[in-house]
Amino acid sequence: MDKFAVLTAVAAPFPRDNVDTDSIIRIERCTGTPKEALGRYAFEMVRYLPDGADNPDFVLNQPRYRGAQILVCGEFFGTGSSREMAVWALAGMGIRCLIAPSFGQIFYGNCFQNGVLPITLPPATAAALMRQASDPAAGPFSVDLERQTVNGDIGFEIGARRRKMLLEGLDEIALTLAMDAKIADYQAADRERRPWIHFFRNP
């Protein structure tokens, strides 16, 4: 997984509340499209016109936001379905960081698994950043994960473990596999404690 340290990039405003993962990536794209190919389908219902051309009203199609790597979002971004393809699609179109007052819970966890940093900020702070992202005179944003700041002076919290995972590009499966002896010990004790959990299919 790519390491995440400091990101200086264009931030695009996406001021819609309750953006669900169905609208980030349609279900038809989750049934066989390779991970790497999902980027072009992100937000497809609003990103393209019926004839397939770019919809000029969609924020990321506007010249000044092309190549944006940061998305400033409304309340509860990523609500709904657990489909991780939503994060893959966002990452596939170049998004590395999301800023919102709140996130859908499963989506939020999925972000960390894919090197995408979701930053939760108080509504007023997020709204100020939304205005800044909409301001043609404003420059790129800078997100510093090491110091946990946006644009130098806005602090954010993500938890020490997740921060470390992103900073070092760690793989959670590898970390847990290294603890396999603990899992084995737990199960050995649990077979005594709760045998019905472990021996249910062959009584």
Partner 1 sequence: MAGRTLFDKVWDPHVIEELGDGVQLLHVDRHLMNELSGHRGQLEIAQRGLKMRNPELAMGTLDHVVSTAPGRRGGPAPWAERMIEIFRVESARAGFPVHDFGDDGQGIVHVVGPELGFTLPGVLLVCGDSHTCTHGALGALAWGIGTSELTHVLATQAIVQQKPKTMRVRFEGTLARGVSAKDMILALIGRLGTAGGAGYAVEYAGEAITALDLEGRMTVCNLSIELGAKIGMVAPDEKTYAYVKGRRYAPKGDLWKPALAHWRGLPGDADARFDAEHAVDCAALAPQITWGTSPEDVIGVHEMIPDAKPEALAYMGLEAGRPIAGTKVDRVFIGSCTNARLSDLRAAAEVVRGHRAAAHVNAWVVPGSQRVKREAEAEGLDDAFRAAGFEWREPGCSMCVAANGDRVEPRARCVSTSNRNFVGRQGPQARTHLASPATAAAAAIAGEIADARAL
Contacts to partner 1 by CB under 8 A: 18, 20, 22-23, 26-28, 30-32, 45, 75-76, 79-85, 87, 102, 104-106, 109-110, 113-114, 159-161, 172-173, 176-177, 179-180, 182-183, 186-187, 190, 193-201, 203
Query: Which one-letter DSSP state was computed for residue 103?
Result: B
Q: At what angle do helices 160-168 and 105-112 cross, to 10 degrees?
A: 40
Closer by beta carbon to partner 1, 23 or else 142: 23
Q: Provide the minimum distance between the beta carbon of 203 and partner 1 in the complex, in angstroms, as a whole number.
A: 5
Sheet with strand 70-73: strands edge to edge: 11-14, 70-73, 97-100, 117-120
Helix, strand or coil for residue 86?
helix
Q: What are phi and psi of 117, to 5 degrees?
A: -95, 115
Closer by beta carbon to partner 1, 103 or else 141: 103
- CA dist 147 and 36 (Å) reads 31
Q: Provide the minimum distance between the beta carbon of 202 and partner 1 in the complex, in angstroms, as a whole number.
A: 8
Closer by beta carbon to partner 1, 18 or else 125: 18
Q: Provide the minimum distance between the beta carbon of 196 and partner 1 in the complex, in angstroms, as a whole number.
A: 4
Radius of gyration of the chain (CA): 20
Strand extents, DSSP E, 5-156: 6-9, 11-14, 70-73, 97-100, 117-120, 141-144, 149-150, 154-155
Closer by beta carbon to partner 1, 8 or else 82: 82
Closer by beta carbon to partner 1, 27 or else 167: 27
Q: Provide the minimum distance between the beta carbon of 161 and partner 1 in the complex, in angstroms, as a whole number.
A: 5
Q: Provide the minimum distance between the beta carbon of 84 and partner 1 in the complex, in angstroms, as a whole number.
A: 4
